[in-house]
Copies of this chain bind each other. A is one copy, B any other.
């Protein structure tokens, strides 16, 4: 049942895509290789035609999720003012939608903690994802000064932390309070 080269490449791409979604939704450890290829109607044997190991898939999936998430942010109203785009970005990032749908969201917030225990290539992919998130923040809060750089790092830490906490608590009111508080941070409103 050999497929054409193009089909094979497409299969590989779809495996990475499915993994990027599933890992963000359920966490890396809770998603098996079988879960990923099963979502595409394939068997695990097929997986090892395309990847050396699950670790290889993890690194690629983080990379893919990061690029997807990065490009979505950059697509948002490129003609608007920096202030307006910053407000939109924060609104999206700290929304209930983002909290409730990690599978489409930022991989830094979705996988941050788990990556602390993963292999070197995964940590490398995660670091690139974090750098991409910082680029997004920079696009709505530019500046070459040390102060501007530190403000951006604070912003990244705040929004990731807010999302992690809002997702982990079972107290709906507290979760919303956290997201609102960071969204309306004076540090972010008047840059």
Contact = CB atoms under 8 A, between A and B. Distances in A.
Contacts of A126: 168-170
Interface string A150-162: 1101101111111
Count of chain copies:
2
Interface in A118-140: 120, 123-124, 126-127, 130-131
Given A113-B164, A115-B168, A153 B182 contact: yes
A101 interface: no
Given A157-B181, A161-B158, A182-B153, A169 B117 contact: no
A61 interface: no
Interface in A84-105: 102
Given A27-B113, A113-B114, A162 B157 contact: yes
A54 interface: no
A71 interface: no
Contact of A177 (B112, B115, B153, B169): B153
Contacts of A167: 113, 116
Contacts of A177: 149-150, 153
26 contacts: A27-B113, A27-B114, A27-B117, A112-B165, A113-B114, A116-B164, A123-B168, A123-B169, A124-B170, A127-B169, A130-B165, A130-B174, A131-B174, A149-B181, A150-B184, A151-B181, A153-B182, A156-B161, A157-B157, A157-B158, A157-B178, A158-B158, A159-B161, A161-B164, A186-B187, A187-B187
Given A27-B117, A108-B165, 7 more contacts: A26-B117, A123-B169, A130-B168, A150-B180, A154-B182, A157-B181, A160-B164
